[in-house]
Amino acid sequence: MNKILKKSTQIIAIMLTILISLFVLSGCGNKDEGSGNKEIPDYEKPVANMFRGMQDKDVDAYISAFPKFMGLADYFNQEYMDYLVETLEKDYGTDIKIKYDVSDKKEISEENIKEMEASIVELYSTTVDIKSGYQLDVEAHITGSEGTDTESSKVDVYQIDNQWYIIGL
């Protein structure tokens, strides 16, 4: 892959993570913080990690939601994280609290998994073996000092090497 295409792919990956973050707006930590004893299913952990990282301004937690081959660790830094948080604060004010619910999950077909694997080879020049995947219906409840809102989105998560990740190409 030539350098220009690789750089473009990395920029696209960063922009996709920002868009996913802003549109999904799903949970921070445990999705049911009130009970404190519900375990998050493994396939939901990338969703929780992405926004736990965002709420805590923890770049490492945020990046852990995405597979390493996307190269976010090389480009997604504290400046990008601050931008994401500032964007939320413009809409909801300070003291942001986010809880999420996964209302439905649909298994991603073997055919679509194979298409995703082929796209990964094409875009990232790496081969992965996706074991399974789900499309999650996520509803986020966002509260800040200046307002409250509920956002809904679909998030695709895939299991690679016994770890679940968000992948949006």
Model pLDDT for residues 2-26, shown as the tens digit of each residue: 444 444 445 555 555 555 554 444 3
What is the reported pLDDT for 18? 53
For domain 3-166, give its CATH number from 3.10.450.50, 1.10.3720.10, 3.30.70.1230, 3.10.105.10: 3.10.450.50
Please name the amino acid found at residue 58: D
Cα dihedral 162, 72, 156, 50 in deg (nearest 10):
90
pLDDT the model gives residue 24: 47
Residue-level pLDDT at 98: 78
Closest CA to 78 of 63, 67, 91, 66: 63
> Residue 118: in which H helix or E strand, if any?
helix 110-124
The domains of the chain are located at 3-166
Enter the tokens of residue 6: 């690789």
Alpha-carbon span 1 to 6, nearest angstrom: 6
For residue 14, the model assigns a pLDDT of 53
The residue with tokens 């990046």 is: 63
pLDDT tens digits, 99-109: 888 989 999 99
Q: 3-state class of 88 per DSSP?
A: helix
Tens-digit pLDDT profile for residues 34-92: 334 468 999 999 999 987 888 888 999 999 999 999 999 888 899 988 888 888 889 89
Binned at pLDDT 50, 70 and 90, residue 33 comes out as very low
> How many angstroms from the chain centroid is the CA of residue 126?
20
Confidence (pTM):
0.77
H/E element, 6: helix 3-24
